[in-house]
Chains A and B, each alone.
Chain A
Amino acid sequence: MRRLAILLAAPLLALMLTAAEPAAAPDRPLSDPAQEARAQALFEDVRCVVCQHEAIADSPAGVAGDMRRLIREQIAAGASDQAVRRDLVRRFGDYVLFTPPVRVGTWLLWFGPLLLVVLAGAVLGLRARRSTTEVAPLSPEEEDRLADILRNEKLRRDPDATSPHDGR
């Protein structure tokens, strides 16, 4: 019975496996390895516009395949990486690149981490400086007490001295 089911399902399956996604034409790598490497590097930075946080390098979606083909065509036609990016942004907006643009609105995004480290470092540096200067010199009475303590310490360290805990 199951066997029959699978026999019946097999053509259906083949159909569904192909129909499940709009069949992306298989990728045709560029013949020049250097150009292909540039294309691959760009794919990592370009967001598949219909997917959820996936680069077109990873996405099996049909649109991603179209975008890969588009980028390969442009690179083969001699476009620089910058030109390809510009063209993508023109078509799809800043959203399409995983590298956010550097402009006034994103300064905080780009320089926030560095700013944080510098500020925190400055605060820490100041505190470290203050805490070392804050240690006030000892008063004469304290000096005497310290000398007392040190003398006692010396006595206890004396190898001939007996331990206070040995019961004698």
Chain B
Amino acid sequence: MIAELGAFALALALALSILQTGLSAAGRARRSPVLAGAAQGAALAAAGAVALSFAALIHAFVVSDFSVSNVAANSHTDKPMLYKVAGAWGSHEGSLLLWCLVLTVFGGALARARGLPFGLKASAVATQGALGSLFLAFAVFTSSPFTRLDPAPLQGASLNPLLQDPALAVHPPLLYAGYVGFSVCFSLAVAALIEGRAQTAFWPAWGRWVRPWALASWALLTVGITLGSFWAYYELGWGGWWFWDPVENASFMPWLAGAALLHSAVVTERRGALAGWTVFLALLAFTFSMLGAFLVRSGVLTSVHAFAVDPQRGLMLLAILGVTAGAAFALFAWRAPQLKGGGLFAPVSREGALVLNNLFLTAAAATVLLGTLYPLILEAVSGATISVGPPYFAATFVPLMTVAFLILPAGPLLAWKRGDLTGAMQRLAVAAGLSVAFALLAYALWEPRKALAAAGIGLGAWLILGALAEVAERARLFRVSGPETLRRLKALPLGAWGMSLAHLGLGVFILGAVVETGFKAETARALSIGQSLSAGPWTVTLDDVRVIEGPNYLAEQGRLTVRATDGRGRATPVKAERRFFPAGGQTTTEVGLDFRGLDDVYVVIGERAGTPDRPAWVVRLYWNPWARLIFLGPMIMALGGLLSLLDRRLRLGVGARRRTTA
């Protein structure tokens, strides 16, 4: 009964979304606040209906209602409650419902947004409604999670045990909030193109309206991707955290486009310049999100994360992508030449630096796109099969980003319109000198000697010190008195803190990624009880292996002790497991992780080896130096995004008032 209610609410949401589109468009055409207001009501109601539908699905999972085929295929009575709930978004149908939920909730928030001019808002609400209608129609007609099974099975097939993990339980909601949040930027961009404001005063205001949505989506996407990466790191048991897997790339492309959008929107907001380009990026970010959905769900990619879904649904998604992106970019091509941004600027200026940022971020996104789609296209065209993996991205993506990072710290120190490059370089001299010193020191001291890794350490330090130098510059550190510096720091807008923090987080990430990639060590050997194995400065001893019983699995649990090879410091016990899930017949590994400062000592216990009278287990030991920073850095970046989002200027129209009087 509740499942039928869910299916009904989903169909109702589709009707409401169509109504929202129609009413809002009519309200815009007739300049009728009543119609537009009704459309906003429909948007809120659609969000409510999808939320109800989603609640019904979660209910079916919580009570293990196996007469619902989606529950039967993805749940099991023995599963812990967290994973029963998370099972609701563990399948194609459920995660599509989550996608629709985020889409309509953001649509509802857009309908409630204040301060937007009538026409722009009506057009944006109509566009968001159209997006909602398309995806809800896809869900209702091809992918309803509420289909019943008759007769109902007594037990479910359970969720893929790899996905039964706390990080992965919350990873999809965050990821989707980020992906789909860009839909509002998309709608605002389409609305801006429809309204086609030629007057220059329009664009700074539009930049200010679109920026909070971009910031929120980007920050959520950052956390979502990081959690996913952390999950891959400790759940797959391969010691790696980013594989340039097509599905990872699918989530990375909207992130890169979103990052470019954030920066470009700043220029549009402050200076009214780059209006067309910002609109383009706003369209691009959500287009990449939809492309990702298509790639992951159509089965065209082979990936660890892909939902195995029939090509029929893939074609439908491709059609949705084609219609929405096609229409939006056609509108862009038609209207863009008429977009008049203001704000001339010299090549050396804050705007110029942000243009460079956009150049490199977009080129990086294009590189990821190329690397992800090229094998598909090449195979379709010539039948040749190739693999594009980490070495390709190391040769293309990494140099692009390196150049961008070299320029980055100078950007915030340049003035708008016309910057003083020499002055900026002087103010960065200390940071630059220290970074070079760090790189040289790393090269001299860190065995084995690696020039590239040392240079990478210098680059990470450059970003961190550059961010600090920028804050110091704003506070006039050492040039005014201590209390005056403090006063200036307190007066800094949250947006400035957010920017510096995000850039600093990037540097932290680079340090972690470079050191981990350059200096990690790995060994593997079959160990009997009492034997040891070393990697880098660490040694583990296999103390004991026993069979244990989990809620829905059986496991061989290895108990090991980690100690420094030179005998200094404490010895820590770690547990590594190899789990067997009888419900699906799968085995997974539970990595034993010992956090040592910034380093991870990472232990995986593998299959049984050795003879029956002297059993042994294949133990793999990884030393991942500074791995902590890889996951800490992006979290700092997301925090920076959050701080910027809380900035008063974005919440109140302070900036707008100042500009209109100027």
Contact = CB atoms under 8 A, between A and B. Distances in A.
Interface in A1-58: 2, 5-6, 9-10, 13-14, 16-18, 20-21, 23-24, 26-27, 29, 40, 44-45, 47, 52-55, 57-58
Contacts of A120: 359, 362-363
A106 B24 CA distance: 47
A17 B556 CA distance: 9
B608 A99 contact: no
Interface string A102-127: 00011011101110110011001000
Interface stretch (B210-218, B240-248, B263-271, B497-505): B240-248
Contacts of A132: 346
Interface stretch (A71-79, A89-97, A146-154, A155-163): A89-97
Interface in B332-357: 344, 346-347, 352, 355
B363 A98 contact: no
Given A10-B547, A113-B396, A94 B524 contact: no
A111 to B, nearest CB: 9
A94 to B, nearest CB: 5
Interface string B386-427: 111111100111001000000000000000000000000000
B602 interface: no
Given A26-B618, A52-B302, A100-B392, A105 B547 contact: no
Contacts of B382: 105
A128 interface: yes
Given A9-B554, A20-B587, A98-B391, A128 B347 contact: yes
B347 A113 contact: no
Nearest to B388: A100
Contact of A6 (B360, B384, B392, B549): B549
Contacts of A106: 374, 378, 386
Interface stretch (B365-373, B454-462, B630-638): B365-373
B441 interface: no
B386 A101 contact: yes
Nearest to B610: A26
Given A20-B587, A58-B240, A98 B387 contact: yes
A136 to B, nearest CB: 12
B446 interface: no
A40 to B, nearest CB: 8
B608 A109 contact: no
Nearest to B608: A18
Contacts of A45: 389-391
A135 interface: yes
A117 B363 contact: yes
Question: Main SS of the interface on chain B?
Answer: mixed
Contacts of B344: 131, 135
A10 to B, nearest CB: 5
A100 B391 CA distance: 9
A60 B586 CA distance: 13
Contact of B389 (A10, A20, A99, A105): A99
B580 interface: yes
Interface size range of chain B in the complex:
35 or more
B526 A26 contact: yes
Nearest to B390: A98
B498 to A, nearest CB: 27
B389 A53 contact: yes
Given A93-B385, A98-B391, A106-B386, A53 B556 contact: no
> Counting chain B CB atoms within 10 Å of each CB, which of A47, A52, A110 scores highest?
A52
A21 B607 CA distance: 9
Contact of B374 (A20, A99, A109): A109
B607 A18 contact: yes
Contact of B608 (A10, A14, A100): A14
A96 B450 CA distance: 28
A168 B262 CA distance: 46
Nearest to A7: B547
Contacts of A94: 384-387
B578 interface: yes
Contacts of B400: 113, 117
A108 B371 CA distance: 10
Interface in B474-492: none
Interface string B213-249: 0000000000000000000000011111001011000
B572 interface: no
Given A13-B556, A17-B556, A17-B587, A100 B386 contact: yes
A94 B384 CA distance: 8
Given A106-B374, A117-B363, A124-B355, A98 B304 contact: no
Nearest to A118: B363
Contacts of B243: 53-55, 58
Contacts of B236: 58
Contacts of A128: 346-347, 352
B303 A52 contact: yes
Given A52-B304, A53-B303, A116 B363 contact: yes
A21 B618 CA distance: 14
B304 A54 contact: yes
A95 B386 contact: yes
Given A58-B240, A109-B370, A23 B607 contact: yes
B385 A98 contact: no
A88 B374 CA distance: 22
Given A6-B549, A132-B346, A98 B606 contact: no
Contact of B387 (A40, A44, A100): A100
Contacts of B363: 113, 116-117, 120
Nearest to B522: A40
B353 to A, nearest CB: 12
B154 interface: no
Contacts of B649: none
Contacts of B315: none
Given A13-B556, A21-B607, A26-B524, A96 B387 contact: yes
Contacts of A110: 392, 395-396
A5 B246 CA distance: 42
Nearest to B302: A52
Contacts of B549: 2, 5-6
The 3 closest A-B pairs by CB, nearest first: A98-B389, A58-B238, A99-B391
Given A60-B237, A117-B400, A128-B352, 19 more contacts: A10-B554, A17-B580, A17-B608, A23-B607, A40-B522, A45-B390, A52-B302, A57-B238, A58-B239, A94-B386, A95-B385, A98-B390, A98-B392, A105-B384, A106-B374, A109-B371, A109-B374, A109-B388, A117-B363
22 contacts: A6-B554, A10-B547, A10-B554, A13-B547, A16-B580, A17-B556, A44-B390, A44-B391, A52-B303, A53-B243, A53-B245, A58-B243, A60-B606, A95-B385, A98-B387, A98-B388, A109-B374, A110-B392, A112-B367, A113-B397, A120-B359, A121-B359
Interface of B: 236-240, 243, 245-246, 302-304, 306, 344, 346-347, 352, 355, 359-360, 362-364, 366-367, 370-371, 374-375, 378, 382, 384-392, 395-397, 400, 522-526, 547, 549, 554, 556, 578, 580, 585-587, 606-609, 618
